[in-house]
Chain A
Amino acid sequence: MATLETQQLDEVIVNSRRKLLSVGTTALAGLALAGISRAANAQATTLTDADYLNFALNLEYLEANFYNLAVNGVTIDKLPTPIAITGTGTQGTVTAKPSFAAVPFANTTIAAYAKETAIEETKHVSFLRTALGTSAVAQPAINLVDSFNALASGALGVSSFDPFANDANFLIGAFIFEDVGVTAYHGAAGSLTSAANLGAAVGIHAVEAYHAGLVRTAINIVDAGTGVLTGYTQKIAAFRSMLANPNGATTTTKTGSKADDIGIDNSQSVALQGTSATYASTTIIDADSNSIGFSRTPQQILAIVTRTSPTATTHTGVFFPAGLNGNVK
């Protein structure tokens, strides 16, 4: 039970933390900014719009390479019209399985979804690189083999998972990324100072939500009531929530669980405007108890994509074995 004093203390601390975030004062930074990576602390860097856009660019490199490998069998720098991957920081390569080949799509509809998403994520890379100009970060080292195996081990209890093996695996691989992208842009939006950057970020945020809605709907169709694929989505969502909130999430999902993520659950029922939950429902939409999409801090996103703690001093591993490039890492 919060007393007036603790509420006031909360206010003071929050205001202090906000001030530190905005002006980058060194005093107390190590104490109050425990959630920010140590590199940022040491520099007491004020995060700029460019820092947030570069953070997003790292994630778009990851998504664009995943989808282009799935569809075209090559990384973005090897496309017929290559995408530049140079920039500030340490440029890395993409690790894919030996003798890599594109997903052998059996379903032309799913192949079409993959192709569209590949094109759009590639455009996001190009857009962000253009917007950032010479300050754009290079593509960091990206791992698309050990990463999925590690997540499968943690989330699904299996030792390996190849998202490029077939249609269903591809959809699950895509599922791993899209909802995370939504929460990342959502979390960054409020930190942007330029209206133009905000407009672009919320626009990309919506496209990531379109992608997420598309892949979740497609998974539910392919699942066809068996519960196999939807079961995977529930476990992956729970794992993402655990990584982002190692001490337990404070948010409530639309199904009533304490988490910041939900997979697809066709066993739900809701009351709508009545008083008893008699209408069979589902959870294609990843949202909270107010049907509002979730938001995550950059540290929570780093925790998910590198399988670290949000408060870790170094975020390396899983998808980004050498960490991200830029000031948010």
Chain B
Amino acid sequence: MEKKINDLIDKALSRRSFLAGVGSASATALLAGCDHSSSAPPPTPTPTPTPTITDADILNFALNLEYLEAEFYLYAATGTGLAATDAGTGAGTTIVPTIKKVSFVTQAIAQYAVEIAQDELSHVRFLRSALTAAGAAPVARPNIDLTFFAPLATTAGIANGASFNPFADENSFLVGAFIFEDVGVTAYTGAATLLSSKTILSAAAGIQAVEAYHAAEIRTLIAGAAAQPGATQAWLTAANQVSTLRGSLGGGNETTLSINSIVAADTTNAIAFSRTTDQVLHIVYGAAGGAGLAKGGFFPSGLNGTIKKTAA
């Protein structure tokens, strides 16, 4: 009898503790602890209220970033972006350069690109499904500009930055991927302590881990290639120029990439960096500090959802 009950307990726990198979049932369970979306909006107070950031708001913020990553990797791997069903009703358009599919010459790198594309697509689908199941509408894909890499590269000081296209070749692709992945890690790390639902926290931590796996892979490939005898340092230099730019826009939180320093973490305690939503917005909008920044860079019309304008 004891075993029977214990089995039942384990079954029940595993059903709720793990998020495999995102059917609507598990997605509902995911957001069961998040009752913000189902509660009625508070009565309007006399002074302008400070908007309360809900778990759903944070997931939608993450969804914007996942749209950006998914578009980048899907174009790189296939030459085509998100399907209409994955982009949401009323989705914006994605501006792409003429060359938008990478001609990989190294089979392994082609497979890395496909795996990351699948992961980011899965993140889009998971977040959309989870939000929908909770009754909190997922935001549609905002307008995205994948030609922003050239101005970004120019600002970063990359050689011939004005013509930089991450889809041009596999080395450029790795630098393009480098631009995103560490930012994703810091964004999810920063979001973790803002979430009220433990279940959503677990999902966010799980996505954070995957972004860190991605980031490590990209960093290992860039630094490893530069460490080979006689190899060009151009791509590693470009990555570090991007890192410096991200640091200036996003509150520091960067370490110089080298063969001796793959992991992006603080040098005192070896703990990964964390960024506020403001710091992440400044990076993806491509503009430095200050309040009221609401669009630019990769998101020419801004993000969709509640978290879109910088407070500082």
Contacts and interface: CB of A to CB of B under 8 A. Distances in A.
A115 interface: yes
Interface residues of B, number: 83
Given A116-B263, A123-B268, A273-B86, A217 B119 contact: no
B9 A291 contact: no
B122 A290 contact: yes
B216 A214 contact: yes
A259 B224 CA distance: 32
Nearest to B186: A206
A119 B270 CA distance: 8
B78 to A, nearest CB: 6
A295 interface: yes
Q: Classify the secondary structure of A's interface with B.
A: helix
A200 interface: yes
A297 B21 CA distance: 19
A109 B224 contact: yes
A84 interface: no
Interface string B111-140: 110111111111101100000000000000
A284 interface: yes
Interface centre among A204, A205, A254, A283 (most CB of B within 10 A): A205
A292 B126 contact: yes
Contacts, number: 269
B118 A199 contact: no
B192 interface: yes
A286 B217 CA distance: 12
A285 interface: yes
B6 interface: yes
B215 A213 contact: yes
Interface in A111-145: 112-113, 115-116, 119-121, 123-124, 126-127
Contacts of B16: 14
Nearest to B127: A290
Contacts of B81: 273
B277 to A, nearest CB: 15
A34 B16 CA distance: 18
Interface centre among A124, A190, A203, A225 (most CB of B within 10 A): A203
B112 A284 contact: yes
Interface in A1-58: 6, 9-11, 13-14, 17, 31-32, 34-35
A250 B5 CA distance: 18
A112 B259 contact: yes
A127 B270 contact: yes
Contacts of A289: 20-22, 122
Contacts of A293: 205-210, 213
A281 to B, nearest CB: 4
B39 to A, nearest CB: 21
Interface residues of A, number: 80
A285 B210 contact: yes
B265 interface: yes
A273 B80 contact: yes
B216 A211 contact: yes
Contacts of A272: 74, 77-78, 114, 117-118, 121
Given A119-B270, A212-B216, A284-B217, A206 B193 contact: no
Interface string B87-115: 00000000000000000000110111011
A283 B116 CA distance: 9
A282 to B, nearest CB: 4
A227 B121 CA distance: 27
Contact of B206 (A35, A207, A295): A295
Contacts of A218: 220, 224
A186 interface: yes
B287 interface: no
Given A116-B261, A291-B118, 4 more contacts: A199-B193, A203-B271, A204-B271, A270-B115
Interface of B: 2, 5-6, 8-22, 74, 77-78, 80-83, 86, 107-108, 110-112, 114-123, 125-126, 185, 189, 192-193, 198-199, 201-203, 205-210, 212-217, 219-221, 224, 227, 259-265, 268-274
Interface of A: 6, 9-11, 13-14, 17, 31-32, 34-35, 108-109, 112-113, 115-116, 119-121, 123-124, 126-127, 182, 186, 189-190, 195, 198-200, 202-207, 209-214, 216-218, 220-221, 225, 247, 250-252, 254, 260, 266, 268, 270, 272-274, 279-295, 297
Q: Which 7 A-B residue pairings sit nearest by Cβ, starting from the closest?
A: A213-B216, A293-B209, A209-B212, A206-B272, A292-B206, A10-B12, A203-B271
10 contacts: A14-B13, A190-B198, A199-B193, A203-B273, A205-B272, A207-B271, A209-B216, A210-B265, A288-B20, A293-B206
